[in-house]
Amino acid sequence: MNLSPLLETCSGTEAFKFQRIEQATAFLREAGLYPNYPRIESAGTEPEVVIDGRSTLMFCSNNYLSLSNRPEVKAAAAETLQAHGMGPGGSRCLCGNVAVLEDLDRSCAKLVGMPDAITFPTGYMANLAVFKGLLDPFLGIFPYRKGAAAVFCDEYNHATVMDGIALSHAKRVLYAHNDLAQLEAKLIKFADHSPKMIVTEGVFSLDGDVSPLAEIAELARKHGAILMVDDAHGIGLMGEHGGGTLEHLGLQGKADIVMGSFDKALGGMGGFLAASKTVVEYLRVAARPYMFSSTVPEVMASAMIASMDLCMNDPEPRRRLRDNAAFLKGRLEALGFTVLGNGSVPVVPVLIGDEDKAIEFGRRTFELGLYAPPFRWPSVPLKTARIRVTPMADHTREQLERAVVILAQVGRELGVCT
């Protein structure tokens, strides 16, 4: 890459400060790695949206159950907005511990079948809080010495998990995706570390698969490890009442900590950690993102309580979502696409492979009226770039049919399908 023109424009102290930043950004753009940020001019959670003045099929929203747009959820938010205004005004340990937030904690715990829960304004903050909060010293050498802990982490875990571990002093031990033999071998190898924690996602949405949680729970029991399940993509989707992957597998109560997200199937924004009352009470003082940040706004808390109530008591959105995902998976496989996963998870990851081809695939589908940008390295391993086609409960059959036509046209153009 020729950076001479860029370097020639860098002069003076201010330019010198950010010269390498400019070079890095230029490289990302030239290499096609800088993401596109199209201007969405309508609600991004709808099955069909307006982008740059043009109607476009939306197949990358995590609003799986279409709860973001349910009248009951919006009515709960509107009522609380009138009563409380926009913001909480501070953290839970200051003026932010309003009654609705205690109700939110209880709703989260009930949803996943755990004794208690602690909530955060984003799911990212929940994952940043848990490892340092639980595994690092807080008072002198208590509860654990600096660096004493080890976290055994599936290599495909979300970036927020990786960042949370990096913020702690625990040793990160990666194991190959869903590889139980390698996990146990590493538990044995690092047996001198205490405490030990295993962290895995419940649903790996980019791969369309579910973690072998029964076997991982047994390994945690056998080796005395804490088990944490990041179920951001499982909450709402999996289980008879939307309790997540553990409910789906009949394993509620077998994990020590469940991380959940409000901004996927529940249609809002925020996250939570559900655990024993002892763990939650400790995190309320030891988790820095909880202590030193404003809490979940009351308007969002009320909306998410209503959303969780619908999730637990109305199975119809989950049925529609699964029907839509099965339709897309069946049609795309019949066209010769490689769809990852066995269909147990209602997302449709389509393997493209080559990064440049995936970028072109996303560009062409967008031109034709479908928005589903590619996932490529470093989000996924090199040469495994993919399009995660994400249906929602409110997608109509006509919209699904149009999506298949567009995907088929681009797939044939690029030699991805027959």
For 226-252, how does the pLDDT look when each residue is reduced to its tens digit (9 = 90+)?
999 999 999 999 999 999 999 999 999
For 296-312, how does the pLDDT look when each residue is reduced to its tens digit (9 = 90+)?
999 999 999 999 999 99
Measure the CA–CA gap between 68 and 275, rounded to whole angstroms: 26
Say if CB 385 and CB 358 are below 8 A apart.
Answer: yes
Helix, strand, coil proportions of the chain in percent (round to 5)? Answer: 45, 15, 40
Element (H or E) spanning 148, and its range? none
Say if CB 365 and CB 60 are below 8 A apart.
Answer: no
248 is an active site residue: no
233 is an active site residue: yes
For 360-370, how does the pLDDT look when each residue is reduced to its tens digit (9 = 90+)?
999 999 999 99
Q: Which of 61, 107, 205, 261 is catalytic?
A: 205
Measure the CA–CA gap between 300 and 306, rounded to whole angstroms: 10
Cross-strand pairs, 349: 388
| Mean pLDDT estimate for the chain | 94
pTM of the entire predicted model: 0.93
Among 89-98, 180-189, 273-282, which stretch is predicted with the lowest mean pLDDT?
89-98
For 182-237, how does the pLDDT look when each residue is reduced to its tens digit (9 = 90+)?
999 999 999 999 999 999 999 999 999 999 999 999 999 999 999 999 999 999 99
Residue with tokens 């925020």: 270
196 is an active site residue: no
Q: Which of 186, 193, 264, 329 is catalytic?
A: 264
Q: Which of 193, 233, 248, 329 is catalytic?
A: 233
Q: Which amino acid is at 13?
A: T
Q: What domains appear along the chain, each with residue ranges and CATH number?
A: 37-67+316-413 (3.90.1150.10), 70-313 (3.40.640.10)
For 1-58, how does the pLDDT look when each residue is reduced to its tens digit (9 = 90+)?
344 544 555 544 555 788 999 999 999 898 878 888 999 999 999 999 999 999 999 9
